[in-house]
C-alpha cells in the first residue's frame, strides 16, 4: 500500500470509529447491553466497572483484526491501527478528561471544556432511556444539548437530574463517574 492509501485507511477508520461509537453507545449500551453499561451511569467508588468489559470485547476484536490483517490484508491491519488510535483518544478524553480516572484536571476553556460538558450532559439522565451526546470526540454545543434534555424531560422521554440546566456551566458531581 502507498503512504496515501495508508493515511486514507487510518483516517477513515478513525472517523468511522466515532460513528460506530455513537451507534454502539446509543443502541447497544443503552439498549440490550445496558446490563454492562448501567454501572457507568450510577454513583460508586469502585476502581473498575462492568462497563469496562466493553473495552475488553472491542480490544479483542481489534487484536483479531491485527492477526487477520497481517496474514491476509494490509488494509485491515492499517484499519486496526485507526481503531487503536481512536481507542487511545477515547480513553484519554472519556476516562481521563471527563471521569478523572488517570488525572484530575478540569479544562476551563476551549474545545476540551466543551467535550467534558457534552459528556457530563450524557450522564445527566437517569436510566437508559433518552439522553444526549452519545459520541465522544465530536461534541455539540452544550446549550443545545441542555435544550434537548429539557425537551426530552417535558416529553417524558428521559428522567433528568435536577442539577442540569440550572443556569451555570458547572455540574453537580455525584460520584467519580457521574
Ligand atoms: Zn451512556
Ligand atoms: Zn462516561
pLDDT single digits (tens) 88-111 = 999 999 999 999 899 888 889 999
CA 94 to ligand 2 center in whole angstroms? 6
Ligand index nearest the alpha carbon of residue 31: 1
Computed over every residue of the chain, the mean pLDDT equals: 89
Residue 160 is inside which H or E element, if any? strand 159-160
Q: Which ligand sits nearest to residue 177's alpha carbon?
A: 2
- pLDDT digits over 120-139, tens only? 999 988 888 888 889 989 99
Which ligand gives the minimal distance to the CA of 94? 2
Question: What distance in angstroms lies between residue 1's CA and the mean position of ligand 2's atoms?
Answer: 37
pLDDT digits (tens, 9 = 90+) for 28-55: 999 999 999 999 998 888 899 999 999 9
Q: How far is the CA of 78 from the centre of ligand 1 (A)?
A: 29
**pTM assigned to the model:** 0.86
Query: What are the distances in angstroms from CA 136 to CA 3, 97, 148, 154?
Result: 28, 11, 17, 26
- Residue 128 CA, ligand 1 centroid: distance in Å: 7
Whether 85 contacts 17, CB under 8 Å: no
In DSSP terms, which residues pair with 160 in a beta bridge?
125
Question: What distance in angstroms lies between residue 135's CA and the mean position of ligand 2's atoms?
Answer: 10
Alpha carbon distance 20, 39 (integer Å):
22
Cell 437508559 sits on residue: 128
Amino acid at each position: 500500500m502507498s503512504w496515501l492509501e495508508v493515511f486514507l485507511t487510518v483516517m477513515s477508520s478513525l472517523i468511522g470509529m466515532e460513528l460506530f461509537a455513537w451507534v454502539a453507545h446509543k443502541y447497544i449500551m443503552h439498549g440490550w447491553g445496558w446490563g454492562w453499561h448501567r454501572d457507568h451511569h450510577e454513583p460508586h467508588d469502585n476502581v473498575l466497572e462492568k462497563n469496562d468489559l466493553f473495552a475488553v470485547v472491542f480490544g479483542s476484536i481489534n487484536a483479531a483484526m491485527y492477526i487477520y490483517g497481517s496474514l491476509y490484508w494490509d488494509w485491515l491491519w492499517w484499519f486496526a491501527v485507526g481503531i487503536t488510535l481512536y481507542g487511545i483518544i477515547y480513553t484519554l478524553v472519556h476516562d481521563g478528561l471527563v471521569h478523572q480516572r488517570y488525572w484530575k484536571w478540569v479544562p476551563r476553556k476551549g474545545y476540551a471544556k466543551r467535550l467534558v460538558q457534552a459528556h457530563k450532559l450524557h450522564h445527566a439522565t437517569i436510566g437508559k432511556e433518552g439522553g444526549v451526546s452519545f459520541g465522544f470526540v465530536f461534541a455539540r454545543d452544550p446549550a443545545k444539548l441542555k435544550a434537548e434534555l429539557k425537551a426530552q424531560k417535558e416529553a417524558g422521554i428521559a428522567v433528568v437530574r435536577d442539577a442540569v440546566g440550572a443556569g451555570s456551566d458547572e455540574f453537580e458531581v455525584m460520584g467519580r463517574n457521574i
